[in-house]
Amino acid sequence: MLAGGHSSRMGREKGLLEISGTPLVVRAARLLASACDSVSIVGPPERYAQFGFPALADEQPHLGPLGGIVTALAHTSAPWNLIVACDLPYLTAKWLCYLIGRARASSARVVLPVGGSGPEPLCAAYHREGAGPIREQLERGVLKVTQAVEAAGVERILAQDILPFDPRGVLFQNLNAPEDYERARADLEG
């Protein structure tokens, strides 16, 4: 799970924001643990190790989400890995299990959902063999995740396949600004 980043629009560390008294990073880690064999947090260990999950510092800081993806793939022994941002409070175990199933049946190295607002690379499945091509793109200066992952080979999950898991259209809503956070809290705590 990715928990690094500057959170400049939010104005504070997103992973530590709470919904129903639980930090977002813990909510996401618990959700992932219900669908995966192990969970690691890619983010500053001094900030996230306290939550009981392995925390990995970015191998190369300041490279954004792509740097976090490369770090995660460099530290895994699992063939398929869910890479999920910590600020997606509407994700469900059913969706994650479906995503894993699609990945295991795929010959691609990245299984990428395409939601209503476009590709969702921070809620996707990555095969560890995709690490090399993605790292090469990063070394060439490519920082846009959707551009870099193309080098690994992508299978897209289209909107009609996502809809049964997301009838409200909120599955991939992330929390970028304080108003996003307040709206999610009102929805999920109410």
Question: How confident is the model over 62-121, as pLDDT tens digits?
Answer: 899 999 999 999 999 999 999 999 999 999 999 999 999 999 999 999 999 999 889 999
Residue 6 pLDDT level (bands cut at 50, 70, 90): low
Q: Which pLDDT does position 12 carry in this prediction?
A: 87
Of the candidates 92, 101, 108, 114, the one whose C-alpha atom is nearest the C-alpha of residue 151 is 108
Q: What are the extents of the domains in the chain?
A: 14-189
Q: Which pLDDT does position 4 carry in this prediction?
A: 74
| Cα angle for residues 132, 137, 138 (degrees, 5° grid) | 95
Q: Tell me how far apart the alpha carbons of residues 42 and 49 are, in angstroms, rounded to a whole number.
A: 10
State pTM to two decimals: 0.95
Q: Tell me how far apart the alpha carbons of residues 131 and 25 are, in angstroms, rounded to a whole number.
A: 24
Q: Tell me how far apart the alpha carbons of residues 100 and 60 are, in angstroms, rounded to a whole number.
A: 27
The single-letter code of the amino acid at 59 is E
- 170 has a pLDDT exceeding 80: yes
Contact in structure between 35 and 96 (CB atoms under 8 Å): yes
* Tokens (6 digits) for 169: 């259209």
Q: Which pLDDT does position 190 carry in this prediction?
A: 77
Fold of 14-189: Spore Coat Polysaccharide Biosynthesis Protein SpsA; Chain A (3.90.550)
- 187 has a pLDDT exceeding 90: yes
- 55: which DSSP letter? E
- 172 has a pLDDT exceeding 70: yes
List C-alpha distances in Å: 114 to 117, 121, 140, 161.
8, 9, 25, 10
Residues 156-181 have a mean pLDDT of 96
For 26-64, how does the pLDDT look when each residue is reduced to its tens digit (9 = 90+)?
A: 999 999 999 999 999 999 999 999 999 999 999 988 899
Q: Is the dihedral of CA 76, 68, 172, 108 positive or negative?
A: negative
Residue 161 pLDDT level (bands cut at 50, 70, 90): very high
